[in-house]
Structure 1
Amino acid sequence: MADASIVVVLVLVAATATAAVATRDPARQALVLSVLGVVLAVLFTVLQAPDVGLSQLAVGAALTPLLIMLSVRKLRRRARTRDRDGDG
């Protein structure tokens, strides 16, 4: 039973990672990256490494996507300001 759960989670990791690579919009990519972080945390927990899973959950599912979203937001604001001011 443990082997089957590992295979299922590995397939989920592969599918989520493929979705993260295939997504073009940075905001959507951050969301998919967050889901990938959760799936990786589950994988680490299934592989009996709960401490690594908790670290992955904090960094991969929360912190990294948050930083990406804040960066995207700032870049989009800066682009709107340039377009409005005509600095072009």
Structure 2
Amino acid sequence: MRASFSAPLWQWEARTEAWWFVSVPADVSDELADLPLPPRGFGSIRVKVTVGSTTWRTSVFPSDRESGYVLPMKKSVRTRESLTPDEPVAVTLETLDH
């Protein structure tokens, strides 16, 4: 599965470390939830992500708070792509598990 979307960058403040995410839109989250993928820790799904000129591999995670999946945004990507909080991030996401 491959999808492109834009969503704001936000910080999860439940822990002392700075964790930054982009929420995967509901329609894309629904597609991810319907994929016949092998079970992984925390319900995660392995993905290849491109933001700007940066591509990396990570996982998206289900989030009850966001009612869908969330994509963690590494500091190196946020810095390289000059991402700022609450501003939209253009994302291309491709699943890797099948």
Q: TM-score, normalized by length of structure 1?
A: 0.28
**Greater share of helix residues, 1 or 2?**
1
**Greater share of strand residues, 1 or 2?**
2
Q: TM-score, normalized by length of structure 2?
A: 0.26
**Higher RCO (CA < 8 A, seq sep 6+):** 2
